[in-house]
Structure 1
Amino acid sequence: MYKVIFFAALAAATLPVFAASRSYADAKALADRDEASVSKTQSGALLASQGAVIDRIVSLCARAMGPAGMPPFVVVVELDAGGKIVATWREGNSDFAVCFEKQLGTLSLFVPPRAPFYTSFEMSMAPGD
Structure 2
Amino acid sequence: MRVVVQRCKDAKVTVDGAVIGEIGKGLMLLVGVTHGDTEKDAKYLADKIAGLRIFEDEAGKMNFSVTDTGGAILSVSQFTLYGDCRKGRRPNFMAAAAPIEAQALYDYFNRELRGNGLQVETGVFGAMMDVSLTNWGPVTLILDSQG
After TM superposition, the score normalised by the length of structure 1 is 0.29
Higher strand share: 2
Higher RCO, 1 or 2 (CA under 8 Å, sep at least 6)?
Answer: 2
Higher helix share: 1
After TM superposition, the score normalised by the length of structure 2 is 0.27
